[in-house]
């Protein structure tokens, strides 16, 4: 069946989130790579979320970033507000609790975050100055954040060829569209929250992500992320030690004419402990025009989206989130 045809046959009534093993992602064996692409296609068409194991990010890298973000978010709010993203610009820097509001009608997200974009770890005199801004403490914040950032970028770069294969496209299809890695990382801290789940203030209200896909590290042992299936049932995306969560975002939904699902999710930290997570939103280069690709369009499944310029689209979405 064509991609467009099989996409129309999916019902999205998933009850759990699949686990995909990336250990053969670097295999030279074509049939192993195709088998992996098939698993990814199924997950993207039916759920829009999957866990990955054997992703290559070391536990040490994760421990280091977790330690610095815990310390950073523990600083007084006045100190953190010195790098408020509204003053820094370009949605980079600190966002306090209730600053963002992902779900229209809610009163704000019970979450604080710190956002960065691409920057080389070793400053290069020839490179353009990074747009990022860094707090004075903790001392190793920049190093640990950027080390994790680049490790997660490597996971994203590893995944793009499999997304292409799973869309019946050549493996290198996305290469010239993702040269500059328009990838934004947002370390987040959620305070413990008690009370009814449908309070107008939750960790992050129901939303979809904007970019192609998100690579999410979430703190083990704390259930808070939930994913909405087509029966309007919230399915827990329980953290699994050693694994990352990958979810499809709106850029990919547009590009694939909804063959890949950008699935609604939310975070509710109804636990008596603080929770930390690190999503990295991986988009295409800013100047890429995103419009439904031919393998995802058919007579029965005409294009559902107008073309958009990737960078402008993401910027518009970020404005809606914060203002």
Nearest-approach distance from CB 176 to ligand AKG, in angstroms: 27
Nearest-approach distance from CB 187 to Fe ion, in angstroms: 14
Nearer to ligand AKG, 132 or 277 (CB): 277
Contact 296, 193 (CB under 8 A): no
Contact 321, 102 (CB under 8 A): yes
* Residue 265 binds to ligand AKG (criterion: CB under 6 A): yes
The interface partner of residue 267, options being ligand AKG, Fe ion, none and the CB cut-off 5 to 8 Å by kind, is ligand AKG
Q: Which residues contact 239 (CB under 8 A, 6 or more apart)?
A: 218, 219, 220, 221, 222, 223, 225
* Residue 292 binds to ligand AKG (criterion: CB under 6 A): no
- Residues 246, 250, 255, 261: is their CA dihedral positive or negative? positive
296 DSSP 8-state letter = G
Nearest-approach distance from CB 231 to ligand AKG, in angstroms: 21
**Token digits for 243?**
């694994």
Decide the pairing of beta strands 289-290 and 265-267: unpaired
Nearest-approach distance from CB 99 to ligand AKG, in angstroms: 13
Q: Which residue, 178, 175, 161, is CA-closest to 30?
A: 161
**Token digits for 62?**
């994760």
Nearer to ligand AKG, 276 or 305 (CB): 276
**Contacts with ligand AKG in 142-201 (CB under 6 A)?**
186, 188
The interface partner of residue 188, options being ligand AKG, Fe ion, none and the CB cut-off 5 to 8 Å by kind, is ligand AKG
Nearest-approach distance from CB 122 to ligand AKG, in angstroms: 28
CB atoms within 10 A of CB 222: 19
Which residues of this chain interact with Fe ion, rule CB under 5 A?
A: 209
Contact 251, 37 (CB under 8 A): no
Contact 65, 263 (CB under 8 A): no
* Residue 216 binds to ligand AKG (criterion: CB under 6 A): yes
Q: Which residue, 19, 49, 44, 102, is CA-closest to 235?
A: 49
* Residue 290 binds to ligand AKG (criterion: CB under 6 A): no
The interface partner of residue 33, options being Fe ion, ligand AKG, none and the CB cut-off 5 to 8 Å by kind, is none
* Residue 251 binds to ligand AKG (criterion: CB under 6 A): no
* Residue 101 binds to ligand AKG (criterion: CB under 6 A): no
* Residue 277 binds to ligand AKG (criterion: CB under 6 A): yes
* Residue 249 binds to ligand AKG (criterion: CB under 6 A): no
* Residue 218 binds to ligand AKG (criterion: CB under 6 A): yes
Nearest-approach distance from CB 32 to ligand AKG, in angstroms: 30
Q: Residue holding tokens 């328009």?
A: 182
**Contacts with ligand AKG in 190-209 (CB under 6 A)?**
204, 209
240/268 Cα distance (integer angstroms): 17
The interface partner of residue 225, options being ligand AKG, Fe ion, none and the CB cut-off 5 to 8 Å by kind, is ligand AKG
The b/e string for 108-120 (b: 16+ C-beta within 10 A; e otherwise) is: bbbbbbbbbbbbe
Can you give the binding site for ligand AKG, defined by CB under 6 A? 186, 188, 204, 209, 216, 218, 225, 265, 267, 277, 279
């Amino acid at each position: 069946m064509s991609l467009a045809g099989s996409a129309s046959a999916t019902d999205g009534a998933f009850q759990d989130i699949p686990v995909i093993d990336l250990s053969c992602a670097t295999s030279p064996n074509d049939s192993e790579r195709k088998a992996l692409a098939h698993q990814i296609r199924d997950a993207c068409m039916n759920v829009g979320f999957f866990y990955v194991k054997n992703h290559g990010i070391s536990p040490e890298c994760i421990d280091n970033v977790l330690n610095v973000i815990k310390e950073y978010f523990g600083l007084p709010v006045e100190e953190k507000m010195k790098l408020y993203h509204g003053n820094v610009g370009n949605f980079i820097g600190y966002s306090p609790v209730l600053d963002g509001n992902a779900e229209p009608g809610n009163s704000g997200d019970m979450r604080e975050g710190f956002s960065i974009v691409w920057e080389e770890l070793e400053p290069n005199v020839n490179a353009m100055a990074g747009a990022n801004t860094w707090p004075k403490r903790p001392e190793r914040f920049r190093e640990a954040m950027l080390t994790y950032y680049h490790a997660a970028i490597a996971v994203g770069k590893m995944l793009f060829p499999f997304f292409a294969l799973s869309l019946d496209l050549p493996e290198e299809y996305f290469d010239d569209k993702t040269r500059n890695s328009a990838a934004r990382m947002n370390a987040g801290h959620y305070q413990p929250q008690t009370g009814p789940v449908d309070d107008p203030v939750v960790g992050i209200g129901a939303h979809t992500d904007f970019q192609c896909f998100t690579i999410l590290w979430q703190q083990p042992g704390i259930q808070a992320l939930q994913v909405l299936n087509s029966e309007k049932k919230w399915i827990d995306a329980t953290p699994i030690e050693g694994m990352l969560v990958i979810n499809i975002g709106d850029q990919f939904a547009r590009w694939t004419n909804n063959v890949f699902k950008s699935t609604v999710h939310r975070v509710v930290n109804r636990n008596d402990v603080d929770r930390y997570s690190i999503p990295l939103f991986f988009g295409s280069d800013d100047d890429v025009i995103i419009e439904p690709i031919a393998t995802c369009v058919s007579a029965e499944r005409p294009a559902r989206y107008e073309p958009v310029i990737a960078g402008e689209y993401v910027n518009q979405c970020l404005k809606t989130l914060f203002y």
